[in-house]
Amino acid sequence: MAAAESAGLAGDFRRSHQARRRARSQPQFLRLRGIQALSRSPLQLRCRQTPRTDVMLLADATLPDGRRADVLIADGHIASIEEPRPRSSDPDRRDLAGALLLPAFIDGHIHLDKTHMGAPLVPHVPGESVRERIAAERVARHAVPLPVEARATNLLRRLVANGTTRVRSHVDIDNDVKLANLEALLAVRERWRPWVDIEIVAFPQSGVMSEPGAADLLDAALAAGADLIGGLDPAGFDHDVPGQLDIVFALAEKHGKGVDIHLHDGGETGGSELRDIASRTEALGLQGRVVVSHAFALGDLSPESFARTADVLARAGVAIMTSSPAAVPVPPVKALRSHGVTLFAASDNIRDCWSPFGNGDMLDRAAIVAARQEFYTNQDLRLALDLATLEPAKALGIAGYGLAPGAPADLVVIDTPSVEEAVINRPPRKLVLRGGVVVAESGVVVEALPI
């Protein structure tokens, strides 16, 4: 995109399964440069062949509301939910013995290209600002010995084993990597399609206005298959709020894509940016297709400014993602919900240059959010679980998600009798299903899926 075309876009806005069993060789999706069949972790390559069945009965499950039920799965969907009763001729019966059955988790904000999962530890380099940390990462990422495909695969295996079957991953787009990381994740997405659904955000980690040619690269990324366009701190990083947002929303309009913007800017600066994003969302008819990730300003506004900002976000259908990091203000969950704002939890960085922590477990993330928000009652703990299930489904526009007849059979079985204890104890996952097929069992990904 030439500079004139970039300006034109901004002006336009202003004017308007198969995988093979590992026997003598690695599974197909692991035959990539640098991926080794390691045995150190129970989540590494332990293959289990599962026969394909069109009908499965999950007998004596505990539903989120505490009722016990038999859940019949047929043709990849939930066919019925009934009171438990003796059955003698079920083709594939799994007796859950009261284990908790939930819709599979959704991790709506991760960075598959950044993770070091499976690689030797890269020492963390601290930075006082977002700009300093980005500069450090641009140097350190070249020292990671495994390629993007290998590290992303290792993290996806961890996510699926922990009960997640849908993710939204941001991918760095800048002058160093250009579209290489995107191309790697597009390939990984295809290989992993039977296990997990992956959305990809073209993320300008080094800025839009600050990085020469960023608009061209973002345009190309969206044309190449990225599902959404991202942004980064229009005021705090690019120092040009209208410039960045004009380009981001013009590209979203050009390609018919959604938007997911990183916003760390705090105080009234961040509040003003949030209101600007909401206004642009309404102007382009993008209600329900825009997310602001982090939105620290929402934890740092006066009561009057908070109420005004929350109201415009709700009206515009702009959702908020929080990973509830320490030492910074975070969006207040209950207050935002009282204004009608959709808010969900997600992992964000998992074992990368930004943080050495993270395990791809959305129950852990729900517990972290609960602790930070002082969610102590049973009702609060159930809300924390919703932030990893129902709320991200709403924010990401996932139709039919849930635990009801007709819903896709994307499910997780947890070895605990209640939602509250699941959030508190983060127990093992007994089964993970995607489309009615068991994709993980007892913490082990099923590497060879039935046809």
Can you give the CATH number for the domain in which 297 is found?
3.20.20.140
User: CA–CA separation, 440 vs 443, rounded Å?
Assistant: 6
Within-domain flag for 30: no
Can you give the pLDDT at residue 25? 35
Name the maximum alpha-carbon separation found in the chain.
71
Can you give the pLDDT at residue 1? 53
The pair of structure tokens assigned to 171 is: 């991918």
Candidates 156, 162, 116; CA nearest to 388 is: 162
333: amino acid identity, one letter: V
Within-domain flag for 252: yes
Within-domain flag for 293: yes
Terminal C-alpha separation, the chain: 43
Residues contacting residue 168 through CB under 8 Å, at least 6 positions apart: 107, 108, 109, 110, 198, 199, 200, 201, 228, 260, 346, 396
User: What predicted TM-score, i.e. pTM, was given to this entire model?
Assistant: 0.89
Within-domain flag for 389: yes
Within-domain flag for 334: yes
Can you give the pLDDT at residue 382? 99
Within-domain flag for 311: yes
Within-domain flag for 228: yes
Within-domain flag for 176: yes
**Which residues of the chain have a pLDDT value below 70?**
1-53, 87-91, 451
Can you give the pLDDT at residue 136? 86
Can you give the pLDDT at residue 9? 57
Can you give the pLDDT at residue 39? 28
Cα within 13 Å of Cα(420), Cβ side:
8
Please count the structural domains in the chain.
1
The pair of structure tokens assigned to 130 is: 């977002």
Can you give the pLDDT at residue 7? 52
Can you give the pLDDT at residue 142? 82
> Residue 276: which domain range?
105-395
Can you give the pLDDT at residue 16? 47
CB < 8 Å & 24+ apart, contacts of 237-243: 237/130, 237/131, 237/207, 237/210, 238/207, 238/208, 238/209, 238/210, 239/209, 239/210, 240/209, 241/272, 241/273, 241/276, 243/10, 243/208, 243/209
